Amino acid sequence: MEFMEGSEPVSPTGQYLNSSVLCVSIITVLESEVPINDVHIISFLKDVFLTINPRFSSVMVTDGKGDKQWKRVEVKVEDHFNVPIFPVGLSPTSYDEYLDNYLSKIAMDPFPQSKPLWELHVFKYPTSNATSNIIFKLHHSLGDGYSLMGALLSCLRRADNPSVPLTLPSRRNSEPESDNRSAWTRVPPIFPLIFNSLSDFGWSMLKSTLVEDDQTPIRSGDEGVEYRPITISTMTFSLDRIKHMKEKLGLTTNDVITGIIFLGTRLCMQEISHGSSKANSTALVLLNTRMIRAYKSVKEMVEPDSESPWGNRFAFLHVSIPKFKDPKSSDPLEFVWEAHKIIKRKRSSLGVYLTSRLLEIVKELRGPEAVARYIHGTLRNSSMTVSNVIGPVQKVAFVNHPLKGLYYMTVGVPQNLTLTIVNYMGELRVTAGIEKGFLDPEKFKSCMKNAFEMMLKAVDELPPRKTSI
């Protein structure tokens, strides 16, 4: 390596995610409608990608004091560019299997620490969903979903008119607070706040150290799950139908999505093992801790005092997956209401802040490796992780390649099941990362689609909501 001048301290979270205990990456798949042009992609990497953020041209090194730094290096993009070769002339379903195995392979391959922590792969064979696929693998220490999606959005152009800037998507509250409410009513009562905060903080500590979820069809409890092959499968839902459910229930889009995921997961568990419908299972729902609800440009993100800073700004919410009270007559809407109630309460407590302070203390006393072990325990003791990012609203093109769809997956986590969600052009793409041979992906997808239909039917049977005059 040839080092260049300048270095930047690695954030604490960046150190935790690239340690001897954890090595977490994000794989993003862009489904192209046209064949990939290698020359254009390599030019993009040199002229655009490397200029987005210095971390894409940096390696993580340890200085003389034992602190980790991002150190700039000369980058040869060809060392990060991969084009796998497979037999030609096969059917799209055959290439689906080749793509799945290839994604599993790169998910397990560790990053060389002597090079910047990113790769780009081009899968040039037609699958059921695309003519070809562009695959980014980026280490999670480079940034979280918000940062990396923001970087991707800066590289995309409108497919209908590349000269027109892409509209940066945002998430809006489903029901804004009325201006007539007094300031006092907006402040949560102090005693419930204290109780909920201490309760959430204590439960989070127990779940990260002593209390494990039950062994179920979605959680084996084995050590070393993060080193095993995975299957990455996707399913698509209509965003308009989800918004219809949201408006009929008076909740948020995330409430509805989470409720569908919880119901589908329980249906799958019960179908495989009837007793698991009563098992104690916890989902870690990722929370973006930035105080904004819309993407900013990359230039704004990297400013010193940015309100939406680049990096890893997220926290885990421990959310118990609701159980079937009566499997034969259980109301599917219970899963939406329960998810809404738990997440709303946890969002309004200080449990996340107290946990963050605890990790800072552990880092100061015992170092970042001890915190990484704590986070590893948090992941391992739960049953699954659910993360959600906002995708492009308009049809977009990546380096003149119109995209039919996109999805992503977090890999390297000690869980048998990981779920991610992204929207694109009015569709919601839910992606499941499942340990191969542990849980049947087709069965899981079938149960998830069944949950969606059950939820939609239950919502349509509700009487119209009463609106205040």
Q: For the chain, how many residues are written?
A: 469
3-state secondary structure of 262: helix
* Residue 423 in this model has a pLDDT that exceeds 90: yes
User: For helices 351-366 and 368-380, what crossing angle results, to 10°?
Assistant: 140
Supply the pTM of this predicted model: 0.91
Among residues 138, 113, 124, the alpha carbon closest in space to that of 45 is found at 138
pLDDT of residue 276: 86
Measured distance CA(388)–CA(237) in Å, rounded = 14
Structural domains of the chain, with CATH: 3-158 (3.30.559.10), 186-393+410-460 (3.30.559.30)
Measured distance CA(210)–CA(206) in Å, rounded = 5
At residue 298 the predicted structure's pLDDT band, cuts being 50, 70 and 90, is confident
> Which structure tokens are listed for 287?
């929370």
pLDDT of residue 23: 94
pLDDT of residue 199: 87
Measured distance CA(168)–CA(172) in Å, rounded = 13
* Segment holding 59, helix H or strand E: strand 58-62
pLDDT greater at residue 310 or residue 215: 215
At residue 437 the predicted structure's pLDDT band, cuts being 50, 70 and 90, is very high
pLDDT of residue 173: 43
Is residue 270 a contact partner of residue 276, using CB atoms and an 8 Å limit?
Answer: yes
* Residue 187 in this model has a pLDDT that exceeds 90: no
Measured distance CA(35)–CA(123) in Å, rounded = 10
Measured distance CA(14)–CA(9) in Å, rounded = 10
pLDDT of residue 182: 40
Q: Which residues contact 218 (CB under 8 A, 6 or more apart)?
A: 265, 268, 269, 281, 383, 384, 416, 417, 439
Number of alpha carbons in the 13 Å side-chain half-sphere of residue 383: 22
Give the mean model confidence (pLDDT) for residues 154-165: 85
3-state secondary structure of 396: strand
Give the mean model confidence (pLDDT) for residues 130-137: 96
pLDDT of residue 184: 36
pLDDT greater at residue 135 or residue 152: 135
Among residues 107, 427, 261, the alpha carbon closest in space to that of 269 is found at 261
pLDDT of residue 188: 56
* Residue 325 in this model has a pLDDT that exceeds 80: no
Q: Which residues pair with 435 in a beta bridge?
A: 230
3-state secondary structure of 232: strand
- Over residues 103-131, the pLDDT tens digits come to 999 999 999 989 999 999 999 999 999 99
Measured distance CA(198)–CA(204) in Å, rounded = 10
Is residue 237 a contact partner of residue 450, using CB atoms and an 8 Å limit?
Answer: no
pLDDT of residue 289: 74
pLDDT of residue 329: 52
Is residue 27 a contact partner of residue 107, using CB atoms and an 8 Å limit?
Answer: yes
Give the mean model confidence (pLDDT) for residues 212-232: 95
3-state secondary structure of 354: helix
Among residues 259, 414, 420, 389, the alpha carbon closest in space to that of 313 is found at 389
What is the pLDDT of the chain when averaged over all its residues?
88
Strands 282-288 and 384-389 turn out to be parallel
pLDDT over 70, % of the chain? 91
pLDDT of residue 326: 66
- Over residues 364-391, the pLDDT tens digits come to 999 999 999 999 999 999 999 999 988 8
